Amino acid sequence: MTLRNKAVFLDRDGVLNHEIGTYVWEPAKFVVMEGVAESLARLKAAGYLLIVVTNQAGIARGLYSAADVQACHAKLQQAVGGLIDALYYAPGHPSVSESLRRKPDSLMLEQARARFRLDVAQCWLVGDRPRDIAAGHKVGVRGILVGPDEATGYQPHVADLRAATGLILAAG
Beta pairing partners, 88:
53
Burial 78-109 (b: 16+ CB within 10 A, else e): ebbeebbbbbbbbbbbeeeeebebbbebbbbb
13 is known as an active-site residue: yes
132 is known as an active-site residue: no
Could you say which of 11, 68, 105, 132 is catalytic? 11
Residue type present at position 139: V
Angle at 105 between CA 10 and CA 95, to 5 degrees: 110
Nearest in space to 102 (alpha carbons), one of 138, 132, 64:
132
- 8 A C-beta contact, residue 120 and residue 87: no
Nearest in space to 132 (alpha carbons), one of 13, 6, 5:
13
Nearest in space to 39 (alpha carbons), one of 169, 171, 172:
169
Active site members: 11, 13
